[in-house]
């Protein structure tokens, strides 16, 4: 039997954009997570990792 259930995106389950997250791991790498709406009107998750080392 073939499934006729339509796949959905995680963004379809989110009514409002979640507040971003910001944390530093044990190696000093800072991770920032933001949820934004792109130019196409789609909800996207933007993740940036920045090393604290010079």
Examine residue 10 and state whether it is found in any structural domain, yes or no: no
Tell me if 8 is assigned to some domain.
Answer: no
Q: Whose structure tokens read 């800072």?
A: 30
Examine the pLDDT at 47 and tell me if it is beyond 80: yes
Percentage of the chain exceeding pLDDT 90: 28
The domain containing residue 21 runs over which residues?
17-51
In-domain check, residue 38? yes
Report the pLDDT averaged over residues 16-38: 87
Say if 34 falls within a structural domain: yes
pLDDT band at 45 (very low <50, low <70, confident <90, very high): confident
Q: How many independent structural domains does the chain possess?
A: 1
Q: What is the pLDDT of residue 31?
A: 93
Residue 47 lies in a domain: yes
On the 0-12 / 13-18 / 19+ scale of CB atoms within 10 A, 8 is exposed
What pLDDT is recorded for position 30?
93
Identify whether 1 is part of a domain: no
Residue 20 is predicted with a pLDDT of 82
Looking at residue 15, what is its pLDDT? 63
Q: Is residue 3 part of a domain?
A: no
């Amino acid at each position: 039997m073939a499934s006729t259930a339509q796949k959905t995106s995680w963004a379809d389950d989110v009514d409002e954009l979640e507040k971003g997250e910001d944390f530093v791991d044990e190696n000093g790498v800072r991770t920032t997570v933001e949820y934004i709406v792109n130019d196409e009107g789609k909800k996207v998750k933007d993740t940036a990792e920045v090393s604290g080392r010079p």
